[in-house]
Protein backbone atom coordinates (compact mmCIF):
# COMPACT_ATOMS: atom_id res chain seq x y z
CA UNK A 1 0.00 0.00 0.00
CA UNK A 2 1.25 3.49 -0.76
CA UNK A 3 3.13 5.43 1.88
CA UNK A 4 3.20 9.19 2.22
CA UNK A 5 3.87 10.81 -1.14
CA UNK A 6 7.21 12.52 -1.34
CA UNK A 7 8.60 14.79 -4.00
CA UNK A 8 12.06 15.92 -4.94
CA UNK A 9 12.57 19.65 -5.36
CA UNK A 10 15.49 20.74 -7.51
CA UNK A 11 15.96 24.50 -7.33
CA UNK A 12 16.85 26.01 -10.72
CA UNK A 13 18.55 28.93 -8.98
CA UNK A 14 20.65 27.51 -6.16
CA UNK A 15 20.64 23.89 -7.40
CA UNK A 16 19.75 22.57 -4.01
CA UNK A 17 17.91 19.25 -4.06
CA UNK A 18 15.43 18.71 -1.26
CA UNK A 19 13.04 15.85 -0.57
CA UNK A 20 9.67 17.20 0.50
CA UNK A 21 6.23 15.90 1.43
CA UNK A 22 2.90 17.13 0.09
CA UNK A 23 2.63 19.96 2.62
CA UNK A 24 6.15 21.18 1.96
CA UNK A 25 5.58 20.91 -1.77
CA UNK A 26 2.59 23.23 -1.47
CA UNK A 27 4.63 25.61 0.67
CA UNK A 28 7.43 25.74 -1.89
CA UNK A 29 4.98 26.53 -4.68
CA UNK A 30 3.45 29.25 -2.51
CA UNK A 31 6.51 30.99 -1.06
CA UNK A 32 9.39 29.83 -3.26
CA UNK A 33 12.69 28.14 -2.52
CA UNK A 34 13.43 27.96 1.19
CA UNK A 35 17.14 28.36 0.49
CA UNK A 36 17.37 31.24 -2.00
CA UNK A 37 13.79 32.46 -2.29
CA UNK A 38 13.48 31.84 -6.03
CA UNK A 39 9.97 31.20 -7.39
CA UNK A 40 9.11 27.52 -7.60
CA UNK A 41 7.16 26.01 -10.50
CA UNK A 42 5.47 22.64 -10.79
CA UNK A 43 8.23 21.52 -13.17
CA UNK A 44 10.85 22.00 -10.45
CA UNK A 45 9.16 19.29 -8.40
CA UNK A 46 9.21 15.65 -9.33
CA UNK A 47 7.80 12.59 -7.66
CA UNK A 48 10.50 10.81 -5.72
CA UNK A 49 11.18 7.34 -7.07
CA UNK A 50 9.67 4.63 -4.93
CA UNK A 51 11.18 1.20 -4.62
ZN1 LIG B 1 16.96 27.93 -4.36
Mean pLDDT per 10-residue interval, the chain, length 51 residues: 84 96 96 96 87 60
Phi, psi of 32 (to 5 degrees): 100, -175
CA of 25 to the centre of ligand 1 (A): 14
Give DSSP secondary structure letters for 1-51.
-----EEEEE-TTT--EEEEEHHHHHHHHHH--TTT-----GGGEEEPP--
CA terminus-to-terminus distance, the chain: 12
Q: Are 43 and 50 a contacting pair, CB within 8 Å?
A: no
At residue 51, the pLDDT reads: 60
At residue 4, the pLDDT reads: 74
At residue 1, the pLDDT reads: 65
CA of 4 to the centre of ligand 1 (A): 24
At residue 5, the pLDDT reads: 84
At residue 9, the pLDDT reads: 96
Please report, for the chain, the start and end positions of each structural domain, with discontinuous segments joined by +. 6-47
Amino acid sequence: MPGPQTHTFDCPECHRSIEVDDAMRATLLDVGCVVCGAPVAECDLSDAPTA
